[in-house]
Structure 1
Amino acid sequence: MTQVMVTLPSAVQMVLLVAAAFGSAVLSGVAGFGGGVLMVPILVTALGPRNAIVVVTISQLASNGGRAWFNRTEIDRRLVGVCCLGGVPGAVAGSLLVTATPLDTHTRVIGGFLLALVLWRRLRPAAVHVPDPVFVVMNGLSGLGSGLVGSFGPLITPFFLARGLVRGAYIGTDAAAQLMVHITKLVVFGAVALLTVSTGLVGLVLVPPSIAGAWLGKQIVDRMPVGVFVAVVEIALVASGVFLLVHGRS
């Protein structure tokens, strides 16, 4: 298969990308998601849409790896395994479809779904039991969306909160599950020649700031009251939903 060519960013663009990777990793370290969603449009401007998806996957691999490591003592390992049952096959499907599927409708649907989930949590606060099959299905959809548009961590967030995971337990468990998704995507991208030397180099430059941002996010969230944490995550969910609805129409 013919490789997708990419022009390396200028020095100024790389500085901006490094700063964006650090800032988005801090956000992900606090809210558990959002970094990839913010990085995608920035990378699209510098690299084009398909190369951006590859590079953001490398950056998110580092960010999620850092969050999983920094919160390793609080990870629900059984739930990570349950999530991977859906997330890994979903990531394979999404990565294979990325070169042929229009993104706008898919993006709007996910954005609307995020807003609906936040509303559901507000209207039905007692509905906290989320069985394992729901995690399998939702992580499958999240993996599919991640393969198609680079990162879709917000999709599964309300279900972790409904399961009762907060702060380090939620962030570490979600990060470990997403880590497997991003590894799967990179394997597929390599197989279909989307992962090139150029995209790999750009992605590797973003690894150190992504890990540093994940560390800083961990320091912040450890000092944050549980009620404030849940409020921050839900505000970030609403912001992500609105962004995706608007982005899907652009």
Structure 2
Amino acid sequence: MNTSLMSKRVFITGASSGIGAALARHYAEQGAMVGLVARRREVLQQLVAGLPHPQRHRIYPLDVTDHAALAAAAADFIAAGNGIDVVIANAGISQGTLTEFKEDLPVFERIVATNVSATVATFAPFVAAMKAQARAGDKGCRLVGIGSVAGIRGLPGAGAYSASKAAVISYCESLRVELRSSGVRVVTIAPGYIDTPMTQVNTYPMPFLMPAPRFAAKAAADIARGASYSVIPWQMGVVAKLLRLLPNWAYDLAFSKAPHKTRQAGH
């Protein structure tokens, strides 16, 4: 066991499955105290029961769009752990949307509320405590936003998801600069295709698909070193840079017939 992580206190939203659950397992296996946020209490209970030292961890069954509940969970976790080391705003949803259909607007709004506004609401209650710890000499405080390669360029049929993840990336960059002199580091992780329930519904090819546990280990390493921005797997980082460099006419031509995410059932 890595004893340098024994005292870590890690708070993770969207922890019940996928990337969030993989991160929870990784940190718990390293000896961390983990705070787990998700909507489904029974799933959180099952997850914690399978972690090392289950009595050490705390679960918070709530919807991240309930900002008051998030703030209460943050206060409880800080009090229980006598501080905070890592906060990972991972909660996110994905759904195909098309602007021409008025019934997709509430879907768009729900995605933005969950993926963007909830990231801000997740970080906000922890900033003061992290700043105080940094002033006392703690150099390990991290605020971690989970973006996506989908936020690099807008994908057809995924306007809401692409826009939300682009917003997370830009927001975290702003916050990183704001907090630069405080000693609190802001880390942006942009996953490519990770093997999770969210991607398992995709019907199109997913290059460089990575198992969630491997992603979690790589993300935790980047978080520990305070990387400002990291694309995992690295191959998707190369792809993302190339896509960003493409002129609009070439990008539009290449992706105009790309497969779309499935829209909400019943549309």
TM superposition score normalised by structure 1:
0.27
Q: Which structure is richer in relative contact order (CA contacts within 8 A, separation 6 or more)? A: 1
Q: More strand per residue: 1 or 2?
A: 2
Structure of larger gyration radius: 2
Q: More helix per residue: 1 or 2?
A: 1
